[in-house]
């Protein structure tokens, strides 16, 4: 008596998910390498990066479709689907975190410790060149109110030391954070204020943001104000506020160390 061979169904979505996820990792990795190079075409690299993340999303969808087929038909391919989903989630985890964080934060890309009188960015030729010919516009009253509601803890740093000493600490903290210092003007002169003009880059994408630090002499010491503005997009997902907080904490720690 002949036996009938019954083939078990195999989901095609599982291997497809794994293949898409592997391709997404390669594409995203190459895009990250390109976008982190200051000499590269940033816009094209960002488009490639978004495309890689889109492929990762497609891999996650294919994995879910594979799970449904496996559940309904008992099809094989669970391992490939799990591998595709895990690789896709590995790529999509950080963007998803930024997206969720952005939903809780207002649309802001320019943060300052002095809402009423924000530090002005330098208009010198060197500063213009470092900012690729860009001058961040002064925030409107609506943007100032938005920041006041979102970041009430962003405030200037007051030190009970001289303005010259505060300037040196501010400059050292900027160097410690690997900022590109474009200008460093000591307190004194016509306005009496010191200024540090710098370009800071993001940790992941290495995209440039513009920072200016103002050191103002006071009768009892010095006051340090910071302004940080993103170059790309109208939403910074909290990065400028994080940068200002971390920088002023560094300056305060340096001031404590020298006492």
pLDDT in tens, 86-112: 999 999 998 888 888 888 888 899 999
pLDDT at residue 205 tops 90: no
Share of the chain above pLDDT 90, in %: 57
Q: How far is CA 185 from CA 16, 21, 36, 156, 169, in A?
A: 58, 50, 29, 19, 13
> pLDDT band at residue 190, thresholds of 50, 70 and 90?
low
**Which SS3 state, helix, strand or coil, does residue 105 take?**
coil
Contact assessment for residue 208 and residue 188, using Cβ atoms and an 8 Å cutoff: no
């Amino acid at each position: 008596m002949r036996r009938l061979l019954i083939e078990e169904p195999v989901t095609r979505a599982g291997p497809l998910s794994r293949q898409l996820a592997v391709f997404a990792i390669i594409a995203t990795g190459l895009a990250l390498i390109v976008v982190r190079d200051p000499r590269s075409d940033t816009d094209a690299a960002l488009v490639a990066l978004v495309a890689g993340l889109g492929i990762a999303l497609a891999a996650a969808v294919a994995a879910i479709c594979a799970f449904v087929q496996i559940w309904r038909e008992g099809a094989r391919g669970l391992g490939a689907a799990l591998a595709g989903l895990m690789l896709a989630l590995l790529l999509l985890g950080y963007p998803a975190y930024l997206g969720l964080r952005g939903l809780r934060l207002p649309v802001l890309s320019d943060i300052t410790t002095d809402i009423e009188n924000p530090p002005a960015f330098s208009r010198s030729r060197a500063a213009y060149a470092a900012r690729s010919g860009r001058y961040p516009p002064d925030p409107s009253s609506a943007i100032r109110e938005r920041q006041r509601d979102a970041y009430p803890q962003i405030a200037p740093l007051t030190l009970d030391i001289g303005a010259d000493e505060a300037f040196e600490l501010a400059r050292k903290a900027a160097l410690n954070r690997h900022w590109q210092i474009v200008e460093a003007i000591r307190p004194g002169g016509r306005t009496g204020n010191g200024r540090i003009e710098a370009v800071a880059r993001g940790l992941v994408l290495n995209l440039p943001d513009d920072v200016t630090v103002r050191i103002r002499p006071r009768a009892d010491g010095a006051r340090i104000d910071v302004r940080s503005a993103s170059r790309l997009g109208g939403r910074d997902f909290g990065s400028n506020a994080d940068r200002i907080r971390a920088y002023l904490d560094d300056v305060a720690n340096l001031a404590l160390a020298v006492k």
